[in-house]
Amino acid sequence: MNVRCSLKMAQSLGSTLFQEWAKRIFAIEFNNNSEPLYFALNPTSEGPWDENSRLHRLLTRGQTYSVCISSENRIQGAESYLHLRDKLARLPERCRVMELMAFFPNKQGSLIKGFLIQDGENDQGTERLLQDLVRESGQTSFCSYMRDDGGRIWQRLGLVTDGQEREIFRNCISLAERPELHPSVLNIKNSVVFCKYEDAYSVLEECTELIPTAKDVLQLADQCERTSRKGPLPVIVIEGLDATGKTTLTEALRESIQATLLKSPPDCIGHLRKTFDAEPPLIRRAFYALGNHITASVIASESEKSPVIVDRFWHSTAAYAIATEVHGKVENLPPPHHELYQWPLDLVQPDLVLLLTVSAEERVRRLERRGQMRTKEEIELEANSPFRQKLEETYRRMENPACVVIDASASKEEVLKNALLCIERYCGIERT
């Protein structure tokens, strides 16, 4: 195939995906407990390699393929990724699907997400099925992996057109070192954590044709008074996982200090949560970010008249987004003092954030006593210990303001007493 023609076709699929493809580092993730396997690409077989490495053993188990999503339209790209993930979940049980990431180390916004697929039976039907999915998804790369006579493994980057897959590039795989930042950290800002109102607003603005109810959220946001200032009276945010006693404490504090009680997202958009929770992270997190700004406009006005208690706010929005996006262990989180832990400059800042904590066992007991149907998020928290640990650690790394931790395993009277002591210390108001 003519190289110039191949490059032209590659560029037509989107410059972001194919630009300097061979200079990217790749990461394969197995699950939430293991370290990713990293590899690089070389046009020759001169790069470092070890046939006893985990990477070699992995890539020589049956037939291996990978697909990566890249689109100039971020909404289409997010939807395509979700669609592709759901389709791959329906592959035969013999097929193994793992997360794959391609990125430039430490370069923000460079991450391309995809999947590595293995078929232990070398069934050509799997390859045809994957090629069909690539055509459906649009701007998607398709790679296959092969071992040469010398034991080295090569990645073939292909273009699927007219029912056929044509090779564009072929590069030899070599071992790569672990980067300073976990690759998923590179794309968190403005994709799941929005540090500015305009950034979250623009995402929902772009998806109004896809999700008509996004217009309702935007209209409510337009009606809100935009300010980063609050009134003279204290604003206290209560954070924590479900079943840590947030509702009990917020109600008690409302009565004790004669406060206005608010929550985020507010009731005016709360009925839309189910709709946006089914959308890709980009859209879902933008919805919750705008919910914070809608709540902030009420905080600003209410704090002119009375103290304000807020049931969850920006910290929980950011913490859940970061802990969900960063796979693996706690060590993979953004390092302390990273910009993702900083309070947005254009969002009303509370005087105090209280983080309620209980042991995992106590939280499960409380949920069981409630007898309520557990949400998908709750099931994940209970079953996935690394996720829960990352979430708790992310809360603790939040800054400006940082969370003040309160042990919520004591009686509700003791928890209220400790919360009031914190409010008196940080905000200068006492119970009436």
**Domain locations in the chain as residue ranges:** 3-185, 188-427
**pLDDT of 160 higher than 80:** no
Band (pLDDT 50/70/90 cuts) for residue 414 is very high
Map residue 186 onto helix, strand or coil: helix
Instruction: Provide the token pair at 283.
Output: 């859209």
* Torsion angle (degrees, nearest 10) of CA 274, 279, 282, 284: 0
What confidence category does residue 227 fall into, taking pLDDT thresholds of 50, 70 and 90? Answer: confident
The pLDDT score that the predictor gives to residue 3 is 42
pLDDT at 432: 55
Identity of the residue numbered 169: F
pLDDT band at 385 (very low <50, low <70, confident <90, very high): confident
| pLDDT of 290 above 70 | yes
**Of 426 and 366, the one with more pLDDT:** 426
Residue 210 has pLDDT above 50, yes or no: yes
Q: What is the pLDDT of residue 330?
A: 92
Identify any residues that bridge with 113 across adjacent strands, giving them in sequence order: 101
pLDDT band at 381 (very low <50, low <70, confident <90, very high): low
Q: How far is CA 381 from the centre of its chain?
A: 15
In this structure, are residues 42 and 171 in contact, taking their beta carbons and an 8 Å threshold? Answer: yes
Angstrom distance (rounded) from CA 211 to CA 38: 37
Is there a contact between 400 and 195 (Cβ–Cβ < 8 Å)? no
- Mean predicted lDDT score pLDDT of the chain: 88
Residues 338, 265 contacting (CB under 8 angstroms): no
Closest C-alpha among 216, 231, 335, 200 to residue 266: 216
Report the range of poorest mean pLDDT among 15-29, 118-132, 220-234, 237-251: 15-29
Query: What do you get for the CA distance between the two ends of the chain, in Å?
Result: 81
Query: Please, are residues 221 and 294 in contact by the beta-carbon 8 Å criterion?
Result: yes
| CB neighbourhood size of 278 (10 A) | 11
Would you list the DSSP string of 108-161? TT--EEEEEEEETT--HHHHHHHHHHHHHHSSEEEEEEEE-TTS-EEEEEEEEE
**Host H or E run for residue 67:** strand 63-69
Q: Are 194 and 165 in contact (CB under 8 A)?
A: no
Q: Is 224 helix (H, G, I), strand (E, B) or coil?
A: coil
Helix (H) or strand (E) holding 355: strand 352-357
**pLDDT band, very low/low/confident/very high, at 21 (cuts 50, 70, 90):** confident
Model confidence pLDDT, tens digit, residues 230-271? 999 999 999 998 888 899 999 999 999 999 999 999 999 999
Residues 6+ apart with CB under 8 A from 169: 21, 22, 156, 157
Residue 376's alpha-carbon distances to 213, 215, 329, 365, 383, in angstroms, are 23, 27, 21, 17, 11
Summarize the confidence of residues 223-236 as an average pLDDT.
93
pLDDT at 34 over 80: no
- The answer to whether 305 and 231 have CB atoms below 8 angstroms apart is yes
Q: pLDDT band for 5, please (50, 70, 90 cuts).
A: very low
Q: Is the pLDDT of residue 185 over 60?
A: yes
b/e code 315-338 from CB counts within 10 Å (16+ = b): bbbbbbbbbbbbbbeeebbbeeeb
The angle formed by the CA atoms of residues 71, 176 and 57, to the nearest 5 degrees, is 95
Q: How far apart are CA 267 and CA 180, in angstroms?
A: 41
In sequence order, the β-bridge partners of residue 96 are 118
Give yes or no for residue 199 having a pLDDT over 90.
yes
What tokens were used for 175? 């071992």
Q: What is the pLDDT of residue 190?
A: 94
Q: Give the 3-state secondary structure of residue 98.
A: strand
Percentage of the chain lying above the pLDDT 90 cut: 68
pLDDT for residue 32? 61
CB 145 within 8 A of CB 62: no
**Which pLDDT tens digit goes with each residue over 74-100?**
999 899 899 999 999 989 889 999 999
- The strands making up 308-311's β-sheet, listed across from edge to edge, are 260-263, 308-311, 235-240, 352-357, 403-407
Q: Tens digit of pLDDT for each residue in 333-371?
A: 999 999 999 999 999 999 999 999 988 777 777 777 766
Looking at residue 1, what is its pLDDT? 38
Query: What is the C-alpha to C-alpha distance for residues 311 and 301, in angstroms, rounded to an integer?
Result: 17
Residue 4: the pLDDT is 47
Q: Give 10 or 250, the one with higher predicted confidence.
A: 250
C-alpha span between 338 and 264 (Å, rounded): 24
Whole-number pLDDT of residue 375: 55
Least confident of 68-82, 98-112, 132-146: 132-146
The number of beta carbons lying within 10 Å of the beta carbon of residue 170 is: 16
The answer to whether the beta carbons of residues 405 and 396 sit under 8 Å apart is yes
pLDDT tier, 158 (very low <50, low <70, confident <90, very high otherwise) = confident
> What is the CATH number assigned to the segment(s) 188-427?
3.40.50.300
CB atoms within 10 A of CB 203: 23
* CA 218 – CA 223 distance, rounded (Å): 9
